Amino acid sequence: MGPAAIARRFVEAINSHDLDAICELMTEGHRFVDSLGAAFEGRDAMRSGWSHYFRIVPDYTIQIDETFENGPRVVLLGTAAGTYTPDDVLREEGRWSTPAAWCAIVEQGLIAEWRVYADNEPIRQRMAGLAKTGPA
């Protein structure tokens, strides 16, 4: 299986919110870089990170429109979307969507690095709005 197919499997695991599948596709020293440039390292740290993210955005999904592969580097272009919730209740005012890109580095059939490029403002606005009004 080539790097692009492995990156797409990683997206499928994310969209399924399957923590075991996500972790099985990461190298032990996996590096995640968010869209603000903060880096997190290690499969165990990322299991915890994804688990937390799926709690606050329980319907998070990635839609891939285009994929480009150059050796072990795969660039995916598409849209990230979900609903931010501070209390496990999905509300329309928490819904967001933004164009996004991801860069995966694949080593020995696993994702060694997953880097996200996206505008965080849509989710920040939802978080701030729900913090002001509080849960319904």
pLDDT (tens digit, 9 = 90+) per residue, 16-69? 999 999 999 999 999 999 999 999 999 999 999 999 999 999 999 999 999 999
Band of pLDDT at residue 121, cut at 50, 70 and 90 = confident
The token pair that represents 24 in the structure block: 């099985």
What does the alpha-carbon distance between residue 91 and residue 46 come to, in Å, rounded to a whole number?
27
Residue 124 has pLDDT above 90, yes or no: no
Chain center to CA of 68: 18
Residue 123: the pLDDT is 72
What is the pTM assigned to this prediction? 0.90
**Phi, psi (5° rounding) for residue 23?**
-65, -35
- DSSP assignments along 16-60, one per residue: HT-HHHHHHTEEEEEEEE-TTS-EEE-HHHHHHHHHHHHHHSTT-
**Count of structural domains within the chain:** 1
Domain that holds residue 14: 3-133
Residues 7/74, Cβ–Cβ less than 8 Å: yes
Q: What is the largest CA-CA distance in the chain?
A: 49
CATH of the domain at 63: 3.10.450.50
Which of 132, 133, 130, 52 lies closest to 86 in space, CA to CA? 130
Residue 136 has pLDDT above 70, yes or no: no
Residue 126: the pLDDT is 74
| 75-102 average pLDDT score | 94
